[in-house]
A = this chain, B = another copy of it.
Amino acid sequence: MRKFMLSLMALSCLTVSAQFGAPRQNPVVPSVVANVTEDFKPAKTNQDGKQYPMVNSQRMVRAQISAPKASFVGLDIAGKIYEMTKDENGLWTGTSEPQDEGFHYYQLNIDGASVPDPGSKYYYGASRWGSGIDVPAADEEFYTVKNVPQGSVNEVYYWSTVTEKMRHGYIYLPAEYYQNPTKKFPVLYLQHGMGENETGWSAQGKTGIIMDNLIAEGKAVPFVIFMDNGLDVRRPGEQGGFGGPRPQGGQRPQGGPGQGGPRRGFGGFNAFQDVLLKDIIPMVEKNYRVIADTEHRAMAGLSMGGMQTHSITLANPTTFAYVGMFSGGTFNTDELKDAADFKKTNKVLFMSAGGKETRMAEGDNSVGKAAENLKAIGINAHSYVSPGTAHEWQTWRRSLYQFAQLLFK
């Protein structure tokens, strides 16, 4: 378990700069100037009417900003700071190497200050609200808004008996929820990753759009999704938790899941488990027309949210019939071979990873190998590897697209 968590933390750090409070300084490299195809277009994630940042057909990102008095401006993306160049009007421009398909966090560096790019929309990730860019993908249709029956992503506050405060989450209700006022629906509880929050799955993840499209095509049954913050859970009087400060060595979970007692630090898993089981699920089942039984309840998450899913569904084996871990490691046969309750309850166990997450995508520790082993002990295990993507949102959009088609059927 320890080795597993450390490797996941390492993975996160490799791919998301400034993952924890204090940002690491990425290396400065020259802006790309050779073999650049000049067919740049404004990114879809730009603010309305803003031309920059742009992306070309090689998936290079080009940023531009006016900073007449600056001595250095850099485009900070995917672990490198591309040094931008200034024209006679004080306009700085720079171009990155090709990026993977899909969504990436990035920022500008102006004379040592790391700031959002005024051209982009802003997203919460890497422990800050900041710039994001969507690089066109061959399969982007599945997360593009279409003229199909529309559900909605709803911002809700609710009282938490665990934290003794109002908390904030989002609930996706499918179109049929509004059209058919007597029907009840199954529910998926869906969690974000380290350094992200409850906005990630709808904004970067495009959850509502993916679901509306899947349901319209008849590929998924309509279900409700609740998305909460798995990092900001602090019991009354508790300090810190997980929003800002860098976790210290040794702040990993102590003991196995579900052993009770307060566990702080990495994931605040125990406190979040309490919020999920004592606050969120009862609130959703009271306020919304959902089917309040195990067979119609799923949990999934990405990265740290996948680890929370792992821990919480193992500790509460009869609560969720469907389980998904996206870039969050694997279940192994030792954990499950004697877990009678889990095996009896579980209908689908789904594990996925990005193709560039090689430890999880290939070989003996892969999601594919894990699924094979789990099938051998009677688990309905599924695996998925997202082609050409890393520990980023394109992997998780695709994972949701795959997982949703397996649920509640």
A interface residues with partner B (beta carbon < 8 Å): 21, 47-50, 65-73, 90, 108, 110-116, 118, 121-122, 127-130, 145-147, 150, 152-159, 166, 171, 173, 178-179, 181-182, 197, 202, 208-209, 232, 243-245, 287-289
Contact = CB atoms under 8 A, between A and B. Distances in A.
A329 to B, nearest CB: 26
Nearest to A107: B118
A288 B173 CA distance: 13
Contacts of A154: 152-155, 173
Contact of A178 (B108, B116, B287): B287
Contacts of A108: 115
B128 A147 contact: no
What's the number of copies of this chain in the assembled complex? Answer: 2
A147 B171 contact: no
A111 B181 contact: no
Contacts of A145: 157, 166
Which among A71, A113, A155, A178 has the greatest number of chain B C-beta atoms within 10 A?
A: A113
Nearest to A287: B178
Contact of A49 (B113, B147, B245): B245
A246 to B, nearest CB: 11
Contacts of A72: 69
A322 to B, nearest CB: 25
Given A47-B129, A49-B243, A129-B47, A112 B67 contact: yes
A158 B145 CA distance: 10
Contacts of A111: 67-71, 110-111
A287 B48 contact: no
Contacts of A112: 66-70, 90
A118 B118 contact: no
Nearest to A283: B150
B178 A166 contact: no
Which among A73, A153, A155 has the greatest number of chain B C-beta atoms within 10 A?
A: A155
B110 A178 contact: no
Given A116-B115, A152-B156, A67 B129 contact: no
B166 A158 contact: no
A110 B150 contact: no
Nearest to A159: B147
A244 B49 contact: yes
Contacts of A65: 113, 115
Contacts of A150: 156-158
A328 B197 CA distance: 37
B48 A243 contact: yes
Given A67-B110, A69-B72, A166 B146 contact: yes
Contact of A128 (B47, B110, B129): B47
Given A66-B112, A116-B118, A288 B178 contact: yes
A150 to B, nearest CB: 5
A152 B168 CA distance: 11
A42 to B, nearest CB: 11
Contacts of A110: 67, 70, 110-111, 113, 115
Nearest to A160: B147
Contact of A114 (B118, B197, B202, B244): B118
Q: Which 10 A-B pairs have the closest CB atoms?
A: A49-B244, A67-B113, A69-B111, A70-B111, A68-B112, A152-B154, A154-B154, A69-B112, A48-B243, A115-B115
Nearest to A166: B145
Contact of A166 (B71, B116, B147, B202): B147
A30 to B, nearest CB: 18
A247 to B, nearest CB: 13
Given A118-B128, A153-B155, 11 more contacts: A49-B127, A65-B115, A66-B112, A69-B71, A69-B111, A70-B113, A71-B111, A116-B118, A145-B157, A152-B155, A155-B208
